[in-house]
Amino acid sequence: MAVVAQTPDIAGERQSGQDVRTQNVVACQAVANIVKSSLGPVGLDKMLVDDIGDVTITNDGATILKMLEVEHPAAKVLVELAELQDREVGDGTTSVVIVAAELLKRANDLVRNKIHPTSIISGYRLAMREACKYVEEKLAVKVEKLGKDSLINCAKTSMSSKLIAGDSDFFAVLVVDAVQAVKMTNARGEVKYPIKGINILKAHGKSARDSFLMNGYALNTGRAAQGMPLRVAPARIACLDFNLQKTKMQLGVQVLVTDPRELEKIRQREADMTKERIEKLLKAGANVILTTKGIDDMALKYFVEAGAIAVRRVRKEDMRHVAKATGATLVSTFADMEGEETFEPSFLGYADEVVEERISDDAVVMIKGTKTTSAVTLILRGANDHMLDEMDRALHDALSIVKRTLESNTVVAGGGAVEAALSVYLEYLATTLGSREQLAIAEFAESLLIIPKVLSVNAAKDATELVAKLRAYHHSAQTKADKKHLSSMGLDLSQGKIRNNLEAGVIEPAMSKVKIIQFATEAAITILRIDDMIKLVKDESQNED
C-alpha cells in the first residue's frame, strides 16, 4: 500500500513502499532500453539532437547517457554508473547499465514475492564476490600466452560495435602502437601507459584508412606569424598562461597628466614593459613560446627577429600535456617573491625539435622527441564531423582497453562467454546454500544472461536457442573434467553459432568484466535500498517576496 502523506507545513509528497521501488525500476529499465540496442558488434547507433540543434551520432553508452537529460533520481544513478565505468575502464559502458537494470528488475520481483530487500542485497553481494573470484581464478588468461596479437584483438573487440568496425584491423594496429609508444616506468618501478599523452587530432578529408600515427605531440594551431622559422631544434619551450600584449593600466587607476609630452612617455613605457618581458624570455634561452592567451603584433615582432616560434591560444589541456612531456613549468606570472619580474631558465621544457607541418589544410605545430615521457599523436581523417567525433570516441575506448590489458595482463573471452559461465556457476552455487540468499543468487545468475541475450537479439538471431546452447556448453565445461576448454565458448554473432572466442580473438581485459559486475551490483543495491521518496514542492510564495 502506498502512503501519500502531506504534512501541512511542508508542501511536498512522500511515497513509500512498493510504489517507489516499482517507479525506480521502471525508470532504470527505460534508461537501459535506450542503450540496449547499441550493444555488440551489430549494435545500432543513436542520433542525439540537443536543444540548440547540434547532432551527435554515437554508439558509446556513456556518451548517449551523458547527452540525455535524465530527470529521474534513480535513473541518474545509472548515468553516473556509466560515467564511472568510462573513467575506470573506458569501455563496457553499455553492458554495465544493462546488467544493473536487469539486476534491479529481478530484485523487484523478489521483493514482490515477500523477500526482504536486505536478504536480496546480501545475496547480491555474495554473488558479486563469488563472480569476481571465479573470473579471476578460472576464466582469466594471462596475456603472455597470447602475445601482441592479443592486444590487437582486444582493441578489435572494443571497436567491433563502433563505426570503424569495418577497418578495425587497421585501427587496432594504430591503437596498440600508440599505447606502446607512451610506455613509461614511474618512480616505484611500475610500468604505466598514460594514454593522456596520446593526442587525437581530427582533420577533414580523405578516408578513415588514411589516418596515421605521428611521433610527437601535435598542437592544433599554427605559428603566430609567417616570419617565424618552420623548424627549431633543439627546442627550449616556455609554457605561459598570460597575455603577451601591450600592458594596459589596471582598470580604476586614474593618472592625471598635466603635460601632454608626459602622455607619450606613459605610452612608451607601456610598450617597453612587454618588450622587457619578451627579452627576459629570450635571455633565458626560450626559442619556442606557447601561451594560452594572445600575443599582439608588437610582441610578435620581437619573436620573429629572435628566430623563435611563438604559438598563441593553445588549449589549457594541451598545455598541461606539453608541460608534462617536456618537463616545462606552466608559468602564470613573471612576478617573483620580491615583486620583480624574472624568468628562470629552469622553467623551460626540452624537446629535440619543434616543427610546423601541414595536415590537410591546417597547420599544426609538432613537438618531437620530448624529454620526460614520449608523446604521440593520432591524426584521424574522415569525411565529416560526425564521423570524426565517433572515431575519436571509438579510439578512446580502444586505447583504454589496450592500456588496461597491458597493465592487468589478463584477458577473458568476449561475446557473452563470461556471463554464461558465471550464470551456470552461480546457479550451482545457489543450490548449495541453505540460506535466504539462495533466491537472490539464482536471480543474479539469471540477470547475467541478459548480455548474451541482448547480443543475439541485436544480431537478429534467435536468442532463446543460442543462449540455451551456450549454457549447455558452459555446464559441461564446469562439470566434466575433460571439457575444461569449453569455458571460453561464446557467441559468434555474424554466423549465429557458438564458437571458442579465445581462439577467434574476441577477447576483453578481465578487469573490464570484473568492474562491470562490481559497479552494476553496487548501483542496483543503491537503488534497491530506497523505499521512501520525499519530494518537496518549490515554495512559490518565497520567490514573490
* Strand-strand pairing, 288-291 and 309-311: parallel
Q: Could you say which of 45, 58, 60, 377 is catalytic? A: 60
Three-state DSSP at 169 gives helix
Which of 63, 94, 221, 373 is the catalytic position?
Answer: 94
Contacts of 4 (CB under 8 A, 6+ apart): 13, 14, 15
User: Do residues 308 and 288 make contact, with C-beta atoms less than 8 angstroms apart?
Assistant: yes
DSSP 396-452: HHHHHHHHHHHHH-EEEETTTHHHHHHHHHHHHHHHH--STHHHHHHHHHHHHTHHH
Alpha-carbon distance of 295 to 391, in angstroms, equals: 34
60 is catalytic: yes
Read off φ and ψ for residue 211, nearest 5 degrees.
Answer: -70, 150
**Residue 54 known to be catalytic:** no
Choose, from 56, 58, 63, 93, the residue flagged as catalytic: 93
Any catalytic annotation for residue 397? yes
CA 62 to chain centre: 8
Q: Collect all residues with Cβ–Cβ distance below 8 Å to 235 and sequence separation of at least 6.
A: 287, 288, 350, 351, 352, 353, 354, 367
The answer to whether 3 touches 17, Cβ cutoff 8 Å, is yes
Name residue 291's beta-bridge partners.
Answer: 240
Task: Give the active site residue among 318, 397, 405, 492.
Answer: 397
d(Cα 354, Cα 234) in Å, to the nearest integer? 8
> Quick check: is 410 catalytic?
no
Q: Which residues are catalytic?
A: 60, 93-94, 397
